[in-house]
Structure 1
Amino acid sequence: MTEKPLSPWLILLLAAMIATTPLAVDMYLPAMPAMAQDMSTHIGSVQQSLSIFLAAYGASMLLFGPLADALGRRPLALFGLSGFALASLALSQVDSIEWFLTWRTVQALSGAASSVVVPGIIRYLYREHTAKGMSYMSMIMMLAPLLAPAMGSAIMWLSSWHFIFIAQAIYAGLIIVFAWRFLPEIKAKDSSRRVNFLQGYRTVFAHHSARPLIITIMFSSFAFFCFLTAMPFIYIKYFGVSEQHFGILFGMNVMMLMLANFINSRVVSRLGSPRMLRIGLGIALISASLLCLFNYLNMSLWYTVLTVGPLMASLGLISTNTDAMIIMKFPDHSGTATAVTGTLRFGSGALAGPLLAWLYTGTALPFSLLMLGGVLGVLCCQIWIFVRRAQAAE
């Protein structure tokens, strides 16, 4: 089957829709100290809002995934974008940590509704070239985490943290306009079927070859969110960089993710997703091991920067190709499969904050050890796949 032609504007719209989540996660990172001061709370409470957001986002996908399969993707996307815009406006007006955490939960729920539909649309349009389509989408979507911390820092320089969430509301409002006009509707073959949550999840979890891939997503996401949660402390507090330089250093890592997706879009059709996943794993093992060594020896900032960059690129290769391999296994349950991987992805990501707090030593070593642990988990999943294939061959 040949690849279906796809308008680059549609890919841009899909990437912009799913980018609401990294904007919500990354844009307020430089503002955390100021937010804690304004709301008269400990910075740890503000940092925990990231874990609460990820947990709520992942859990709500369990609801919205089967709804996308049964009811269609366009109305769910519009509903989610509208809720995201309203929650962002509410966040700009809060003055207590309790209301902030409440509206962050609503923002996460709404973001999940608009994001869960995207992989299913890409799978329908790209078919066997889903990994290539996912790479295109991820490469564009990565502009959000690349720009978000710098945008947050710029807003903090010009005004207060409240305007960070006003900017998120304006962004969601613009996406609603374009989604209303251009987002296609893709329903299941039997569009009249009733929502059957248990049957969809039973289908996904009963697929033996998908299980190690789903667990791979958990480990790679855990490593990624360890980086995301720890970076404000590591760069700003431990290494003493300014909020503006933090945005630049964070952007360098996102550029590595974009580069990895660009390379993947060019070669995955020839090499295949399984091989690209293994290449990413090899790079991740080397980079994570060096990161632990450099932080154990208390070496300077640039050793951390030079090892985190390739590590983030390799995690991008692992995640994009694993996502594509999972979606390809469930043509009629892509929303449910996305819900499963999304829930486990953000659920495992939500563990990063508490574990980093528990292992806190005032140094960068705990975060690098946790990232190495996530990479070793991916290695175990690849060994699991190898052993299963060897047993099947016998």
Structure 2
Amino acid sequence: MLARNIFTEEHEMFRDSVRKFIEREITPHHEQWEKDGQVSREVWLKAGEAGLLCPNISAEFGGLEADFMYNVVITEELARASATGPGFAVHSDMAATYIDSFGSKEQKAHWLPRLISGECIAALGLTEPGAGSDLKEIRTTALVDGDEYVINGQKVYISNGQLCDVIVLACKTDPAAGSKGMSFLIVEADRKGFERGRNLEKIGLKAQDTSELFFHDVRVPRANLLGQEGAAFKMAMNKLAQERITIAISALAVVETALEWTVQYTRERKAFGQRICDFQNTRFKLAEISAKATALRAFVDDCITRHIYGKLDGITAAKAKMLCTELQCDTVDECLQFFGGYGYMLEYPIARAYIDARVRKIAGGSSEIMREIIGRNLFAD
């Protein structure tokens, strides 16, 4: 594996604490959470106490005021442990970062301490039945009525939807203005007219609650506007690079871990009188995965470094997201094959990694959209 020089001793100490937290508080319960379709609220409070939620937010609000590398460590360790249930990344690296970056002093003071502690769970309300990667097509409206916005519409595929206490909601405050008419509102889940739909049944990520959300004349104060009215599209574009590099980080960690599992298994398992790793096909297949993972590790670590210095652009993040998630899907498929029938059994981590991987080429912008973004840039005037 490629030697990594982007972490300090403090980062590695934090990694050790994260790993122990996962072993103690997540792994023993994950199978039950998969049956339940969601994790317990208790693990959110414990994660907050352990510093696993929003670690990069200012100490003024109770955060660790750490650099993005702490977020990277959490993402990697959750991925390596197949701890796909807790929606910590959506909470910390997506929803909370909007409030931290664009919120007023009052909004930050009210929400950030509760997001950091795990007392409040956040969701990001972007996707709709008719609007996925193309955010301009959202139909949820928030129209001004006196000192309030009145919200009507529907969101779908919302992670943390069943548990969330607050939604950072994308909506049209000026439906006639296209992308310039989009705004973000902070919407409390106890508002009259807000309804959670069913907890959607998915192929994978069984322990992570994913929901439909409905808004029927939901009224929120105009003070719940996040940032400026009409600025949501620019705000989302500003945050997409971090979202996509976070997905890439997770995907590549799964690749490296699945490779480790498979190397170990093929060393021990025998067929026709020899170890599976002694077959040339095994060595060649795993060598190819290892080479691709090494190349992407250098690229992703460079992206992480760029992001820390504010220099990661959306095109580069799209490349990382596309390549890493596609390698993730290819790797778990190839590696599962070496486990034979055992690989099809959910008691083996490779089986869970296989079913959890597929959504990665869709969520956060599909592979096709990533290609479109990259391709348009190539031919830009």
By the TM > 0.5 criterion, same fold?
no
Q: Going by fraction, where is strand more abundant, 1 or 2?
A: 2
Larger Rg: 2
Q: Going by fraction, where is helix more abundant, 1 or 2?
A: 1
When normalised by structure 1's length, the TM-score is 0.30
**Bigger RCO (CA 8 Å, 6+ sep):** 1
